[in-house]
A = this chain, B = another copy of it.
Amino acid sequence: MNEFELIKNYFQKISKKNPSSLQLNDDVFFNKKNKLVVSVDTYVEGIHFYNFIRPDLVIKKILRSSISDLICKGVSPKYYFISASGNKKFFSKLNLLKMSKSLHEEQNKYNIFLSGGDTIFSNKLSFSITSIGFSNNIIYRNKAKINDDIYVTGNLGDSYIGLLILKDKINLNASLKKYFINQYYKPEIQFKLVDKLKNFVNTSIDISDGLIADLDKMINKQKLSYKINLADIPISNNLKKIIDLKRLKKINFISKGDDYQILFTASKNKRRIIKNLALKNRIKITNIGKIQNFVKKSSIVDKKNMKIMPKNKGYIHEFY
């Protein structure tokens, strides 16, 4: 049973009478009357972050992951709450100081405010973050239209290379190491776009589990499918270098998750708006494919229009 089945089988029923829950099938909770948008996520050592050797960076990573859920919906995060479980080794005075300093920096960067939470003694380290914003409307999942362009912001895959470096599974020079680890811990979430997205986006999600896994989630209730051009999927020059140097396959690096870029669809007549916005704000926004009728199967194709599949589609939260 994975996370989706678990929610569907046991909890969707009891949230039915509550339209704000969006059937537990979106990134956020949205209560239109009170204009309230909420995201709740838990982060566990070894799953959502590799280890706690750099508490200053871990706290940034998970906080960005949390507010990314709101940002991809076109909602500015405003308040956040942290519930932290750990023991005195994790929460030493030095570590607390580092986390506090990092949170302060993130607050200034994203204009958000620590608003509460609690600390619990446990030998297993974990954090739950609740992020809250206010908005008259949000961008929903499952609102793609046929023939929509599919876009992704920024680059994909860098964060995964960072993780491989932390796991000692890939060897690179010091400057590349630094670059990718930085991308792993401090993903460049697209805060600048938050107020503009609603002007052109039909549906959206942030890429946390992997491009393909999140494409599937974005349109999981619709009779639609996608066609993605592998060559168009944006990767950094540094990742390009490594792929060439080590003779790797791009397909195996673009759906590993932890990117926290925005995946969205937009009508073709929005192309000019999107292009200008990207130029003006110096943000990479790439058209990677299109939405099609579900009679055609979802696919990623190479330059010869041949279907290719990655080794796996991304991170699925399996229970058993």
Contacts and interface: CB of A to CB of B under 8 A. Distances in A.
Interface of A: 1, 3, 6-7, 9-11, 13-15, 17-18, 20-21, 24, 28-29, 31, 34-36, 38-42, 44, 47-48, 79, 81, 83-85, 87-88, 91, 93, 96-97, 99-100, 103-104, 107, 113-124, 126, 128, 130, 132, 134, 317-320
A84 B36 CA distance: 23
A132 B38 contact: yes
A38 B131 CA distance: 11
Instruction: Work out how many copies of this chain go into the complex.
Output: 2
A126 B91 CA distance: 18
Contact of A81 (B29, B104, B317, B320): B29
Nearest to A91: B319
A263 B141 CA distance: 44
B29 A115 contact: yes
B44 A96 contact: no
A258 B161 CA distance: 47
A119 B20 contact: no
B10 A130 contact: no
10 contacts: A9-B93, A11-B103, A11-B114, A14-B114, A17-B113, A21-B115, A34-B34, A91-B319, A120-B317, A122-B124
Nearest to A104: B14
A25 B24 CA distance: 32
A277 B9 CA distance: 43
A54 B9 CA distance: 20
Residue among A10, A17, A81, A116 having the largest count of chain B Cβ atoms under 10 Å: A116
Given A34-B134, A40-B128, A126-B126, A13 B100 contact: yes
Contact of A47 (B38, B41, B120, B320): B120
Contact of A118 (B36, B41, B97, B113): B41
A15 B121 contact: no
Residue among A29, A85, A114, A128 having the largest count of chain B Cβ atoms under 10 Å: A128
A42 B114 contact: no
B38 A115 contact: yes
A93 to B, nearest CB: 8
Contact of A79 (B29, B35, B117, B120): B29
Given A81-B38, A85-B126, A128-B42, A24 B120 contact: no
